[in-house]
């Protein structure tokens, strides 16, 4: 039985070209980039070459690229950095009686790296507004506008949702933020390699990226910070990353991410055609098999091409996941797993789906190696599972 991996939104297999680039970096120079000797200079050059290449691919300037340990660190750095910077400015210009902690706006469908960071800000006395999406998982600009306060310092909104794939109106909301002198952060982890990105043309001040979602290594990411934007660093030590992120750099990981970004951007057009073919084959097959017993979750058109979230109404999520796993199909619910049992997705709850849809949702996410034939095979295996479950009842 062929194993079929359709959980690329969780992580992706590393491409051989990326592995080779990393091995070359590890074998060529093991020097500390902060050292002044030849090995250190070679390691520093590798980092700068990677930074230049990534900046070129993403429409940014090299000095706007900060290397991190991944998307979660990038999200936390942007949120805490912007909030604390605003707080320090407020302390300088306001008296004790009128001084108040700044206000942050985010949405109820963000990745937990953003949500938990904002929840921690609340514990520290900051005010946070969580804007709800519509039924398709899209956060509307008018809802964000209604949440703006005089002390709002940051809006954080993902570019494309990691569970249902719905694309967010970043252009409109970013312009809204800047019209009110508010900084804009977007978690673009799932969007990288899936939609065209020209960061210098987007109204965003921070953008987060991760290598392992684009067939690169785990443990490395990027925070884009627009030139001139002030924020507080929260990892202190050495002067790495122009004093913005202390700690000896992960040279081979950075080289690997640069290789992954280059491949993802160069092959994006062809890949989008392939991903759409796989997604449409799976969705069409499920509709033909289950008819009105399968429902699409998320926006039907304004969505990332590699994510398909559906509710198969006759089979509970946990049952479907376990059966698919036993039949060699790797997918997920997109929700958290605690103590061996699934929690209902906070994204789908925020979309106010029915309880039946909440408890039967499955996320398929596609990438390298997936084919139309695999999608058709997955439909056949789901048919077997559905028949088995129906016969029990």
Same domain (yes/no): 354, 304: yes
Whole-number pLDDT of residue 343: 85
Same domain (yes/no): 150, 32: yes
Same domain (yes/no): 203, 173: yes
Whole-number pLDDT of residue 336: 56
Same domain (yes/no): 20, 8: no
Cβ distance 161 to 350 under 8 Å?
Answer: no
Same domain (yes/no): 249, 313: no
- Identify the residue with better confidence: 384 or 94: 384
| Interstrand relation of 152-156 and 103-107 (parallel, antiparallel or unpaired) | parallel
Query: Residue 95 — very low, low, confident or very high, per pLDDT cuts 50/70/90?
Result: low
Tell me the average pLDDT of the chain: 95
The pLDDT of 281-310, averaged and rounded, is 98
CATH number at residue 117: 3.40.640.10
C-alpha separations of 180 from 149, 154, 173 in Å: 9, 10, 11
Same domain (yes/no): 255, 307: no
Same domain (yes/no): 119, 225: yes
- Which domain does 335 fall in, by range? 4-12+268-392
Query: Residue 338 — very low, low, confident or very high, per pLDDT cuts 50/70/90?
Result: very low
Residue 24 falls in the annotated catalytic set: no
Last residue of a domain, one of 240, 263, 286: 263
Q: Could you tell me which residues are beta bridge partners of residue 58?
A: none
Query: How many of the other CB atoms lie within 10 Å of CB of 239?
Result: 9
In this predicted structure, the answer to whether residue 97 has a pLDDT above a threshold of 70 is: no
Output DSSP code: residue 343: P
Whole-number pLDDT of residue 99: 65
Last residue of a domain, one of 239, 263, 287: 263
pLDDT tens digits along 229-255: 999 998 999 999 988 999 999 999 999
In this predicted structure, the answer to whether residue 152 has a pLDDT above a threshold of 50 is: yes
Question: Which positions ≥6 away from 74 have C-beta within 8 Å?
Answer: 66, 68, 206, 208, 209, 210, 221, 222, 223
- The radius of gyration of the chain's CA atoms, rounded to the nearest angstrom, is 22
Same domain (yes/no): 128, 196: yes
In this predicted structure, the answer to whether residue 341 has a pLDDT above a threshold of 60 is: no
The predicted model scores a pTM of 0.95
The pLDDT of 271-288, averaged and rounded, is 98
Phi, psi dihedrals of residue 332, rounded to the nearest 5°: -145, 175
- Identify the residue with better confidence: 93 or 106: 106
Cβ distance 40 to 32 under 8 Å?
Answer: yes
C-alpha separations of 33 from 29, 36, 179, 223 in Å: 10, 8, 40, 20
Provide the terminal-to-terminal Cα distance of the chain, rounded to the nearest Å: 28
% the chain with pLDDT above 90 = 91
In this predicted structure, the answer to whether residue 383 has a pLDDT above a threshold of 90 is: yes
Same domain (yes/no): 233, 278: no
CATH number at residue 377: 3.90.1150.10
In this predicted structure, the answer to whether residue 98 has a pLDDT above a threshold of 60 is: no
Same domain (yes/no): 287, 231: no
Q: Say how far apart CA 223 and CA 75 lie, in whole Å.
A: 8
Last residue of a domain, one of 224, 239, 263: 263
Same domain (yes/no): 354, 243: no
Whole-number pLDDT of residue 339: 38
Whole-number pLDDT of residue 342: 74
In this predicted structure, the answer to whether residue 270 has a pLDDT above a threshold of 90 is: yes
In this predicted structure, the answer to whether residue 340 has a pLDDT above a threshold of 60 is: no
> How long a stretch of residues is the chain?
393
Lowest mean pLDDT among 25-29, 309-313, 329-333: 25-29
Whole-number pLDDT of residue 393: 66
Q: On the CB side of 65, how many CA atoms lie within 13 Å of its CA?
A: 26
Same domain (yes/no): 161, 294: no
DSSP letters along 40-85, please? Answer: HHHHHHHHHHHHHHHHHHHT--GGGEEEESSHHHHHHHHHHHHHHH
pLDDT tens digits along 217-233: 999 999 999 999 999 99
pLDDT tens digits along 63-88: 999 999 999 999 999 999 999 999 99
The pLDDT of 40-67, averaged and rounded, is 98
% the chain with pLDDT above 70 = 97
Q: How many structural domains does the chain have?
A: 2
């Amino acid at each position: 039985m062929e194993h079929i991996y359709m959980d690329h939104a969780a992580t992706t297999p590393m491409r051989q070209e990326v592995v080779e680039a990393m091995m070359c970096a590890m074998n060529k120079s093991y020097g500390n980039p902060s050292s002044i000797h030849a090995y250190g200079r070679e390691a520093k050059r590798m980092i700068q070459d990677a930074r230049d290449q990534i900046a070129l691919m993403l429409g940014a300037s090299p000095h706007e690229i900060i290397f991190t340990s991944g998307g979660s660190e990038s999200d936390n750095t942007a949120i805490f950095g912007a909030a604390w910077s605003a707080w320090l400015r407020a302390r300088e210009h306001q008296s004790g009686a009128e001084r108040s902690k700044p206000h942050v706006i985010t949405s109820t469908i963000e990745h937990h790296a953003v949500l938990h960071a904002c929840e921690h800000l609340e514990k520290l006395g900051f005010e946070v507004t969580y804007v709800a999406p519509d039924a398709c998982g899209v956060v509307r600009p008018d809802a964000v506008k209604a949440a703006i306060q005089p002390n709002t310092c940051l809006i954080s909104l993902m570019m494309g949702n990691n569970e249902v794939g719905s694309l967010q109106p970043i252009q409109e909301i970013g312009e809204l933020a800047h019209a009110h002198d508010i900084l804009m952060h977007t978690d673009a982890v799932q969007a990288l390699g899936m939609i065209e990105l020209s960061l210098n043309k987007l109204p965003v001040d921070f953008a987060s990226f991760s290598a392992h979602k684009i067939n690169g290594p785990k443990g490395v990411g990027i925070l884009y910070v627009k030139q001139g934007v002030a924020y507080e660093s929260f990892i202190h030590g050495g002067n790495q990353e122009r004093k913005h992120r202390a700690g000896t750099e992960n040279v081979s990981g950075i080289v690997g991410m640069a290789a992954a970004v280059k491949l993802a951007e160069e092959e994006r057009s062809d890949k989008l055609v392939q991903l759409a073919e796989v997604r449409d084959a799976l969705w069409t097959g499920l509709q033909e098999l289950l008819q009105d017993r399968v429902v699409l979750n998320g926006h039907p058109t304004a969505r990332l091409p590699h994510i398909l979230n559906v509710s198969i109404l006759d089979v509970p999520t946990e049952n479907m996941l376990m059966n698919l796993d036993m039949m060699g199909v790797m997918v997920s619910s997109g929700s958290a797993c605690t103590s061996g049992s699934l929690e209902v997705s906070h994204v789908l709850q925020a979309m106010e789906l029915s309880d039946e849809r909440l408890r039967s949702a499955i996320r398929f996410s596609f990438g390298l190696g997936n084919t139309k034939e695999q999608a058709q095979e997955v439909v056949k295996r789901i048919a077997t599972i559905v028949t088995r479950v129906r016969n029990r009842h």
